[in-house]
Amino acid sequence: MSITAQYIVQQLTQSKQAQIKTQGTAYAPVNIALIKYWGKRNSELNLPITDSLSVGLKTLGTHTSIALCDGQDHITLNGTLLAAEHPFSQRTSRYLDLFRTVPSMGFVVDTKNDVPTGAGLASSASGYAALVLALDDLFNWQLDKTQLSVLARIGSGSASRSLWDGFVHWHAGEQDDGMDSHAIPLTQTLPDLRIGLLTLSAKTKPVSSRSGMKQTVEGLSLYPAWKNMVDTHLTQMLPAIEQADIAQIGQIAEHNALAMHATMMSAYPALCYWLPETLATLQTIWAAREAGLACWATLDAGANVKLIFAQQAQSEVEALFPKVQIVQPFS
């Protein structure tokens, strides 16, 4: 039997009959992947080929409220009511289809992102995580975070990690139904860690992560080497976090990000999310590091760059990049 997303949702929620609230509300943080998720073994359930690891930015994320209505969904993004044919509305409504108990059930969704939507700054991760948390509040399921991580993953793989602040490890799992593919928070904290966001472009990226993964995995690319790369980086990253070694964390994260983008570029047709400003920013970071600045870069599927550094380097980073937005994940 082919296991569907609808089946998983029913397994997790059908026995959770409770008094439905007038409205559900939630907040979920953006997460920045230090070990990337790129490639799926099951596209419908968003089951990854490898583990991944991230750090949540608790002061940046998505705020979502949801209520029931009759008929068509009403979806508002950042204060603008979207048409039903808008791509964001279509994606959201397709996901909400999994939770409609009767065909006439509609949803009123109001969601606000603290970062640009669809620009490679993890808005889909925080967005689907916030939506799942709001649904749990609305329907009063009272699911645990592991179960909610599974539901969020079905919407967007990286959303499985946005249920928590701090360091989070998403285990790829092995089961066909994906019930063992969920995230788990790590206990380590790192108060000196800083993440800098450089928004080089707020435009929606031309190729979605979902399409980009498919193109990379199925094309003639270097992808077969990617799993071994991730396994190696993960075995290095976990002790680096335990030892609070920000330099080692930064080095591994930068290597992992560049390896992911190199794998994309090796596909045919090639997939490149970078803009000229992206490469110029990386070259600026590398030159500054040669001169002694302890700062590293990571990039998701998009043109924007994230910086990894310690509190002691903050003034130098701000001088180098005056427009950087600095976040303290463990403030």
Return the CATH number at 243.
3.30.70.890
Please tell me whether residues 118 and 208 are part of one structural domain.
Answer: no
What is the residue range of 67's domain?
5-185
Please tell me whether residues 233 and 159 are part of one structural domain.
Answer: no
* Mean pLDDT along residues 146-170: 97
User: In sequence order, what are the residues at sequence separation of 6 or more whose Cβ sits closer than 8 angstroms to the Cβ of residue 252?
Assistant: 34, 35, 233, 236, 237, 240
pLDDT of residue 318: 98
Name the domain boundary from 142, 161, 185: 185
Written as one letter, the residue type at 25 is: T
Structural tokens at position 173: 């799992």
Please tell me the distance from the alpha carbon of residue 23 to that of residue 135, in angstroms, as a whole number. Answer: 9
* Mean pLDDT along residues 143-158: 97
Q: Give me the residues paired with residue 81 across strands.
A: 76
Please tell me whether residues 174 and 210 are part of one structural domain.
Answer: no
Please tell me whether residues 151 and 294 are part of one structural domain.
Answer: no
Q: What sign does the CA torsion over 116, 122, 127, 128 have?
A: positive
How confident is residue 17, by pLDDT bands cut at 50, 70 and 90?
Answer: confident
Name the domain boundary from 185, 203, 222: 185
Reply yes or no on whether the pLDDT at 212 is more than 80. yes
Please tell me whether residues 70 and 173 are part of one structural domain.
Answer: yes
* 52 or 221, greater pLDDT: 52
For residues 272 and 265, the answer to whether their CB atoms sit within 8 Å is yes
Residue 131: strand, helix, or coil? helix
Please tell me whether residues 58 and 150 are part of one structural domain.
Answer: yes
- For the stretch 313-322, pLDDT in tens is 999 999 999 9
How confident is residue 211, by pLDDT bands cut at 50, 70 and 90?
Answer: confident
Q: What is the β-pairing status of strands 74-77 and 40-42?
A: unpaired
Please tell me whether residues 171 and 32 are part of one structural domain.
Answer: yes
* Mean pLDDT along residues 127-145: 97
Reply yes or no on whether the pLDDT at 119 is more than 80. no
* Mean pLDDT along residues 15-27: 90
Q: What is the CATH number of the domain that holds 84?
A: 3.30.230.10
C-alpha distance from residue 65 to each of 89, 94, 123, 160 (Å): 15, 18, 16, 19
Please tell me the distance from the alpha carbon of residue 112 to that of residue 26, in angstroms, as a whole number. Answer: 11
Percentages helix, strand, coil for the chain, rounded to the nearest 5? 40, 25, 35
How confident is residue 100, by pLDDT bands cut at 50, 70 and 90?
Answer: very high
- For the stretch 244-257, pLDDT in tens is 999 999 999 999 99
How confident is residue 116, by pLDDT bands cut at 50, 70 and 90?
Answer: low
Reply yes or no on whether the pLDDT at 120 is more than 60. no
Please tell me whether residues 219 and 128 are part of one structural domain.
Answer: no
Question: What is the total count of domains within the chain?
Answer: 2
Please tell me the distance from the alpha carbon of residue 73 to that of residue 61, in angstroms, as a whole number. Answer: 23
Residue-averaged pLDDT of the chain: 94
Q: How many CB atoms lie within 10 A of CB 71?
A: 8
Reply yes or no on whether the pLDDT at 118 is more than 70. no
* Mean pLDDT along residues 118-139: 86
Residue 309: strand, helix, or coil? strand
Please tell me whether residues 219 and 265 are part of one structural domain.
Answer: yes
Please tell me whether residues 167 and 202 are part of one structural domain.
Answer: no
Please tell me whether residues 170 and 154 are part of one structural domain.
Answer: yes
- For the stretch 264-304, pLDDT in tens is 999 888 999 999 999 999 999 999 999 999 999 999 999 99
Name the domain boundary from 141, 160, 185: 185
pLDDT of residue 197: 95
How confident is residue 25, by pLDDT bands cut at 50, 70 and 90?
Answer: very high
pLDDT of residue 115: 74
Share of the chain above pLDDT 90, in %: 85
Reply yes or no on whether the pLDDT at 1 is more than 60. no
Written as one letter, the residue type at 215 is: Q
Please tell me whether residues 54 and 181 are part of one structural domain.
Answer: yes
pLDDT of residue 329: 96
Residue 293: strand, helix, or coil? coil
